Amino acid sequence: MNRETKHLTLRYALIHCFFWMGFATIMGFASIFLLSAGFTNTGVGIVIAASGTVSALLQPAVASVADRGGRWGLRGLTALMGGGILLLAAAIAALSLFGGASMVIGFLYGSCLLLLQLALPLVNAIGTEAVNRGQALNWGAARGVGSVAYAAVSCVLGILTRAAGTITVPLLILLSFALLLLSLSLFPLRSREIELPNTRPAAVSPAVFFRRYPRFGVLLVGTTLLYTGHMILGNFTFQIVQSKGGGSVEMGIANAIAACAELPTMFLFAVMVRRRRCDFWLKLSGLFFTLKALLSWLTPTVELFYLVQLLQMLGWGLISVALVYYINALMDRSDAVKGQACATMTFTLGSVAGSLMGGWLLDLAGAGVVLSAVSAVTLAGALTLCAGAEQVAERVLR
């Protein structure tokens, strides 16, 4: 092992650490920040949905640029997204301090959400690209560090927003993405020009891509439905916790418990996938998404809601790793980034649908109706996911 590739898992873990710090801040505290800026629940949903819609439209083009490599390969594009978020967060902080118009703040915040969602598949693909080149890297452990960071930030920021106000949100975004840019500069990822040729040319259109992987489209429908429910729970946790008697601190605690619950799965998944194929774990995650949604609806108190967050271990915690492994095993290397982008697109589409549906239903009928709708959507998603997942030959990311 040469100096350039030494401690590769640690270096990749730093990328996940600072990216998920930023993710917890931008996505997890979107409701609190935008509500304080004068938006309604419906308005919050529209901002998140608009950013997700644009992201879904742009993700295939971004994936194609990343697949070509060169200057704007995976690391360069990720740095570009991170730098953009850094500048936007600085503008949001300045406007928040000096009384900027709420619509302008909402537009800038939505732009942060857009770049965040465009960067997610790139961050995932940086690690899988390194592994596929034979470099020693434990992808699941690195992703687990991201969940540690998410948990810590959720808990701390819940306290800070109550004590110092929502100005802490853009300030923490600035810190997170400054550190992300630094960590990207420390990660060695050579351009693709030095690789061996791909086994076959990259897909030239979505039609060709989905003919190559016909059941993958069904699986994407299932994950979209699962993520719709998941994003309602995530984007409107504050309102859900309020309905059970809590506030921003309790929201932060609930998010932190959920993020910590993910850790055993992420750190141990490289072992788990040797016992059972990743398509089995994908199907199991659908079951636990549904259980979490149902119990979130039925629990009457914040304390019981905290316990429900432990189901995150085999819900989001499982699918966020298993789906990356599944795509890496299912697809040719020439299609891998496109596959990761498609998976992230379902996350984005789920965010769009969940934001619109969640915000509208909250204003119309309250948290109870929202949670019943989440339960129905996640059940449909779990069944569709099971229909789309197929047996794959493993390619372990370790």
Specify if 398 maps to a domain: no
How many CA atoms are closer than 13 Å to the CA of 93, on its beta-carbon side? 15
User: Do the domain assignments include residue 67?
Assistant: yes
CA distances from 314 to 25, 29, 143, 280, 309 (A): 23, 24, 15, 12, 11
How many Cβ atoms are within 10 Å of 53's Cβ, its own excluded?
A: 17
**Total structural domains within the chain:** 1
Q: What is the pLDDT of residue 198?
A: 43
Is 198 part of a structural domain of the chain? no
Q: What radius of gyration, in Å, describes the C-alpha atoms of the chain?
A: 20
Give the contacts of 179 (CB within 8 A, at least 6 positions apart). 14, 18, 21
Tell whether 74 is covered by a domain: yes
CATH of residue 252: 1.20.1250.20
Q: Which residues, 6+ apart, have CB-to-CB distance to 104 below 8 Å?
A: 95
- Predicted local distance difference test score (pLDDT) of residue 366: 87
Query: What is the full DSSP assignment across 361-396?
Result: HHHHH-HHHHHHHHHHHHHHHHHHHHHH--------
Let me know if residue 193 belongs to a domain.
no
pLDDT score, position 270 = 81
Token code pair at residue 52: 């997700």
- For the CA atoms of 294, 153, 33, 293, what is the dihedral angle to 10 degrees? 0
Residue 348 to residue 48: CA distance in whole angstroms: 10
* 134 sits in which H/E element: none
Q: What tens-digit pLDDT sequence spans the chain (398 residues)?
A: 445 545 888 999 999 999 999 999 998 889 889 989 989 888 988 998 899 889 888 887 887 777 665 556 788 889 999 999 999 999 999 999 887 788 999 999 999 999 998 998 889 888 887 777 777 788 888 888 998 898 889 888 888 988 888 999 999 999 999 999 999 988 876 554 334 334 444 444 677 888 888 899 899 999 999 999 998 998 888 889 999 998 888 888 898 898 889 888 988 888 898 888 889 999 999 999 999 999 999 999 999 999 999 999 999 889 988 998 898 888 877 777 778 778 878 887 888 888 888 888 988 888 899 999 999 999 999 999 999 988 876 555 54
**pLDDT for position 393:** 67
CA distance 342 to 338: 6
101: amino acid identity, one letter: A
Q: How far from chain centre, in Å, is Cα 192?
A: 26
* Alpha-carbon distances, residue 50 vs 34, 95, 108, 326 (angstroms): 14, 21, 12, 29
Which residues form the domain of 233?
7-187+206-388
- Say if 113 falls within a structural domain: yes
**Where does the chain have alpha helices with state H?**
8-26, 30-36, 41-68, 74-98, 102-132, 139-164, 168-185, 206-212, 216-235, 237-243, 248-261, 263-275, 278-298, 302-308, 316-330, 336-365, 367-388
Tally the C-alpha atoms within 13 A of residue 14's C-alpha that lie toward its C-beta. 15
H helix intervals, 299-366: 302-308, 316-330, 336-365
In a domain? residue 195? no
Residue 396 domain flag: no
